[in-house]
Amino acid sequence: MSDLVPISSLAFSKHGEPAEYRKRKVALISGITGQDGSYLTELLLEKGYQVHGIIRRSSSFNTGRLHHLYEDQHERPNKFHLHYGDLSDSTNLVYIIAQVQPTEVYNLGAQSHVKVSFEMAEYTGDVDGLGTLRLLDAIRTCGLEHHIRFYQASTSELYGKVVETPQSETTPFYPRSPYGVAKLYAYWITVNYREAYNIYACNGILFNHESPRRGRTFVTRKISRAVADISLGKQSCLYLGNLDAKRDWGHARDYVEGMWRILQQDNPEDFVLATGEMHSVREFVEKSLSVVNIAVRWEGSGTNEVGINVKTGAIIVRVDAKYFRPAEVELLLGNPAKAEKVLKWKRKVDFDSLVKEMVLADLKSVKNLVEDQN
Ligand code: NDP
Ligand code: GDR
């Protein structure tokens, strides 16, 4: 951090030198320990950035997704730093921004589970909604609002109830969960601070993106892990909620590239990142099972529906009402035309390759676990 600009000169200067400042290529990422945070860190380090991340203090290990980057440290000295912090703690955010003086801030930190947001609605509102305000205000408090480019992790959950498909930057929002509502606040405060204070602040409205690093309670990873366990005889049945929900699923690595591109434009704007293709949870199950050569047929309906292994006759999928949500988003399908045209961004990984990569990665890790236990 030897290239810091004296903060006093920035805090009180109305005429900073953004070009000079921006040359430093310093990124600050909230939510660095999450799926997207880890892929974005890899990308930015490859591009020569110094990367700083905010991590939460936890009694258990929470930097597993960043482990390999720590190990690379000796090849990139002084390029990767972690700071304890939390989006609920304004003073801490001001301190980190003042210390790091980033050129780009990526606000990826969030209580990101839609179902959990119904159980922790106030907390989700605080972190996902007000947390975004706190980070933007920390930037202003440090007098860096004309020096920093700000990315907000907005979401297709803003669309919620179907008003039109495919959904684009102009589709009206109708969120269907405390998570979606909190993210709606974050979306608009980002737009508002851009308009009110001329901050370079953008929303990436990202549709679902997955990977082998996806948290294990999200449906895709829950399925890929269960399929690995079932095929290796470690689990007999997978319990799921709404099999008919449809999502536009892409690969997280493609989407972090889009986040970076959003902050490299001449003017700050909001963009949808999506594949433009939609599949049901049921299709995700079928496709995952096909990777391990298991064919499934469905019987029954509603909560009595089951998935049966065609070869053995065993029930391998059941519906459990506890995974249903008080209000569901039935389908999401994005229109990435603006991102394709302006950012020259396009997803590279298709649905089949995504599913295959996730199942094969889980097969490998389950096999390693079994070997370790023997
Ligand atoms: P993850 O759930 O994998 O990661 C969330 C990150 O936020 C973790 O690093 C977590 O820390 C951190 N975090 C949680 N609470 C706080 C807090 N109070 N203060 C600071 N950090 C906190 O999410 P993803 O990587 O999948 O998503 C990244 C962002 O993009 C999120 O904001 C999400 O809502 C949004 N998004 C995700 C999409 C997707 O399909 N993945 C699509 C659209 C938007 P810890 O590890 O300690 O829990
Ligand atoms: P989502 O992702 O809610 O779209 O939010 P999730 O994988 O949790 O659910 C997708 C769909 O699958 C249905 N479903 C189940 N979901 C879970 N988690 N567990 C189950 O057992 C199950 N069975 C069926 C759900 O009802 C839903 O319709 C993700 C998060 O990453 C958000 O942070 C992000 O903003 C959005 O994607 C875009």
Number of domains in the chain: 2
Residues 6+ apart with CB under 8 A from 187: 152, 154, 158, 173, 203, 205
Ligand 1: centre distance to CA 289 (Å): 28
Q: How far apart are CA 362 and CA 223, in angstroms?
A: 10
Residue 235 and residue 172 in one domain: no
Residue to substitute in 108, 111, 157 for testing ligand 1 pocket (most ligand atoms within 8 angstroms of CB)? 108
Does residue 258 belong to any structural domain of this protein? no
Q: Is the domain of 228 the same as that of 175?
A: no
pLDDT in tens, 40-94: 999 999 999 999 999 999 999 999 999 999 777 777 778 999 999 999 999 999 9
Residues 169 and 193 in one domain: yes
Residues 155 and 181 in one domain: yes
Q: Which candidate, 167, 221, 209, 205, places its Cα nearest to that of 347? A: 209
- Pocket probe mutation, ligand 2, options 218, 280, 284, 332, max atoms within 8 Å of Cβ: 218
Looking at residue 99, what is its pLDDT? 97
Name the CA dihedral angle for 368, 212, 102, 2, rounded to a multiple of 10 degrees.
20
Residue 193 domain flag = yes
Are 172 and 287 contained in the same domain? no
What per-residue confidence (pLDDT) applies to 17?
Answer: 41
Q: What pLDDT, on the 0 to 100 scale, is given for residue 89? A: 98
Task: Examine the fold and report which residue of 206, 229, 254 is the final residue of a domain before the chain moves on.
Answer: 206
Pocket test for ligand 1, best of 36, 220, 284 (most atoms within 8 A of CB): 36
**Residue-number span of the structural domain to which 290 is assigned:** 219-246+279-328+350-373
| 128 within ligand 2 shell (Cβ under 6 A) | no
Q: Is the pLDDT of residue 317 over 60?
A: yes
Q: Which residues are known to be catalytic?
A: 155, 157, 179
Residue whose Cα lies nearest atom 41 of ligand 1: it is 209
Q: Using CB atoms within 10 Å of the CB of residue 297, give its burial: 0 to 12 exposed, 13 to 18 middle, 19+ buried.
A: exposed
Q: DSSP letters along 209-276, please? A: EE-TTS-TTSHHHHHHHHHHHHHTTS-S-EEES-TT-EE--EEHHHHHHHHHHHTTSSS---EEE--S
Residues 142 and 24 in one domain: yes
My answer on whether 53 and 146 are in the same domain is yes
In this prediction the ipTM stands at 0.99
Q: Which amino acid is at 198?
A: N
- Pairing label, strands 80-84, 200-206: unpaired
Reported confidence tier of residue 4, pLDDT bands at 50, 70, 90: low
How close is the Cα of 191 to the center of ligand 1, in Å?
Answer: 21
Q: Report d(CA 237, CA 106) in Å as an integer.
A: 39
Identify the pLDDT of residue 3.
57
Which tokens hold the place of 221? 């990873």
Residue 166 sits in a domain whose CATH number is 3.40.50.720
Choose the final residue of a domain: 179, 206, 233.
206
CA 199 to chain centre: 23
Q: Which atom, in ligand 1's list, is nearest to the CA of 35?
A: 25
* Cα dihedral: 109, 110, 113, 117 (round 10): 170
**Residue at 335 is within a domain:** no
- Please identify, among 155, 178, 206, the residue that sits at the C-terminal boundary of a domain: 206
Domain contains 365: yes
Residue 338 lies in a domain: no
Q: Place 101 in a pLDDT band, splitting at 50, 70 and 90.
A: very high
Residue 251 lies in a domain: no
Question: What percent of the chain is helix, strand and coil (3-state, nearest 5)?
Answer: 45, 15, 40
Question: Ligand 2 mean position to 336 CA, how many Å?
Answer: 21
52 and 157 belong to one structural domain: yes
Q: Is the CB of 35 under 6 A from ligand 1?
A: yes
For the stretch 325-371, pLDDT in tens is: 999 999 999 999 999 999 999 999 999 999 999 999 999 999 998 88
Distance CA 116, CA 106 (A): 23
CATH code of the domain in which 296 resides = 3.90.25.10
Domain identity same for 172 and 36:
yes
User: Does residue 170 sit in the same domain as residue 28?
Assistant: yes
Question: Can you give the pLDDT at residue 5?
Answer: 55
Residue carrying structure tokens 């070997």: 371
Q: State mean pLDDT over 286-304.
A: 98
155 lies in the same domain as 237: no
Distance 283 CA to ligand 2 centre (A): 14
Is residue 162 one of the residues assigned to a domain? yes
d(CA 133, CA 161): 26
Whole-number pLDDT of residue 260 = 98
Do residues 168 and 224 both lie within one domain? no
The mean pLDDT value of the chain amounts to 94
Within-domain flag for 255: no
Whether 241 is in the pocket of ligand 2, judged by its Cβ within 6 Å, is yes
Q: Whose CA is nearest to atom 26 of ligand 2?
A: 242
- DSSP-derived letter for residue 304 is G
